[in-house]
Amino acid sequence: MKHGGGGDVNGIKDDLGDDLGDDLGDDLGVGDGRYDVVVVGGGAAGLAGALMLGRARRSVLVIDSGEPRNAPAEAMHGYLGHDGVPPARLLATGRAEVRGYGVRIASGTVVSAEADEGGFRVTARRPGAGSPAAAGSGAGGEAGTDTGTGSGSSTGSGSGTGEVQVRARRLLVTTGLVDELPPVPGLAELWGRDVLHCPYCHGWEVRDLPIGVLSTGPLAVHQALLWRQWSADITLFLHTGPEPDEEAWERLAARGVRVVRGEVAGVERDGERLSGLRLGDGTVIAVRALTVASGLRARSGMLDALGLEAVPALVAGTEVGSRVPAEADGRTPVAGVWAAGNVTGVTETVSASAASGARAGAAINADLVALDTRLAVAARRSPFGADGERAVARVVARGAARSAAGGVGSAG
What is the full DSSP assignment across 83-131?
TT--HHHHHHHHHHHHHTTT-EEEE-EEEEEEEETTEEEEEEE-TT---
Residue 395 lies in a domain: no
Residue 26 belongs to a domain with what CATH number?
3.50.50.60
Residues 206 and 348 in one domain: no
What value, to the nearest 5°, has the Cα angle with vertex 315 and ends 41 and 266?
80
Which residues are 190's β-sheet partners? none
> What pLDDT, on the 0 to 100 scale, is given for residue 11?
40
Confidence grade of residue 66 (pLDDT, cut at 50, 70, 90): confident
Q: Does residue 294 register a pLDDT over 80? A: yes
Q: The domain containing residue 267 runs over which residues?
A: 183-292
Residues 20 and 130 in one domain: yes
Average pLDDT over residues 346-354: 96
> What pLDDT, on the 0 to 100 scale, is given for residue 211?
99
Confidence grade of residue 398 (pLDDT, cut at 50, 70, 90): low
- % of residues, the chain, pLDDT over 90: 71
- The average confidence (pLDDT) of the chain is 84
Which residues are 104's β-sheet partners? 61
**Residue pair 146/12 in contact by the 8 Å Cβ criterion:** no
Residue 44 lies in a domain: yes
- % of residues, the chain, pLDDT over 70: 77
CA distance 385 to 257: 73
Residues 168 and 250 in one domain: no
Q: Does residue 17 register a pLDDT over 80? A: no
Q: Does residue 190 register a pLDDT over 90? A: yes
> What pLDDT, on the 0 to 100 scale, is given for residue 160?
47
CA distance 47 to 137: 28
Q: Does residue 103 register a pLDDT over 50? A: yes
Residues 103 and 148 in one domain: yes
Cα 195 to its chain centre, rounded Å, is 22
Q: How many structural domains comprise the chain?
A: 2
Confidence grade of residue 70 (pLDDT, cut at 50, 70, 90): confident
Sequence-distant (6+) residues with CB within 8 A of 331 are 338, 363
> What pLDDT, on the 0 to 100 scale, is given for residue 133?
33
> What pLDDT, on the 0 to 100 scale, is given for residue 380?
86
Residues 131 and 270 in one domain: no
Residue ranges with strand state E in 244-391 = 258-260, 264-270, 273-279, 284-286, 289-292, 295-298, 311-315, 318-323, 337-339
Strand, coil or helix: 263 = coil
Strand, coil or helix: 258 = strand
In this structure, of 22-36, 158-172, 186-200, 212-226, the range with the lowest mean pLDDT score is 22-36
> What pLDDT, on the 0 to 100 scale, is given for residue 121?
97
Residues 85 and 134 in one domain: yes
DSSP element (H, E) containing 173: strand 163-173
Residue 384 lies in a domain: no
Sequence-distant (6+) residues with CB within 8 A of 311 are 322, 323, 324, 325
Which residues are 213's β-sheet partners? 236, 291
| The one-letter amino acid at 410 | S
Residues 212 and 340 in one domain: no
Residues 128 and 166 in one domain: yes
| Per-residue model confidence as pLDDT tens digits over 191-202 | 999 999 999 999
Residue 157 lies in a domain: yes
Q: Does residue 28 register a pLDDT over 50? A: no
Residues 147 and 190 in one domain: no
Sequence-distant (6+) residues with CB within 8 A of 132 are 150, 161, 162, 163
Residue 403 lies in a domain: no
> What pLDDT, on the 0 to 100 scale, is given for residue 84?
95
CA distance 340 to 175: 8
| Per-residue model confidence as pLDDT tens digits over 136-182 | 323 333 345 543 323 333 334 444 458 899 999 999 999 999 999 99
Q: Does residue 390 register a pLDDT over 70? A: no
CA distance 161 to 154: 12
Which residues are 168's β-sheet partners? 35, 120
Residues 138 and 23 in one domain: yes
Residues 308 and 229 in one domain: no
Residue 157, judged by CB atoms within 10 A of its CB (0-12, 13-18, 19+), counts as: middle
Give me Rg for the CA atoms of the chain.
27
In the sheet that holds 258-260, the strands lie side by side as 195-196, 289-292, 211-214, 234-237, 258-260
Domain end (from 292, 309, 328) = 292
Residue 87 lies in a domain: yes
**In sequence order, what DSSP letters do the residues of 376-409 get, joined into one string?**
HHHHHHSTTHHHHHHHHHHHHHHHHHHHHHH-TT
Q: Does residue 106 register a pLDDT over 80? A: yes
In this structure, of 95-99, 105-109, 144-148, the range with the lowest mean pLDDT score is 144-148
Sequence-distant (6+) residues with CB within 8 A of 289 are 194, 195, 196, 202, 206, 209, 210, 211, 212, 274
Residue 390 lies in a domain: no
Residue 229 lies in a domain: yes
Residues 159 and 276 in one domain: no
Average pLDDT over residues 303-318: 96
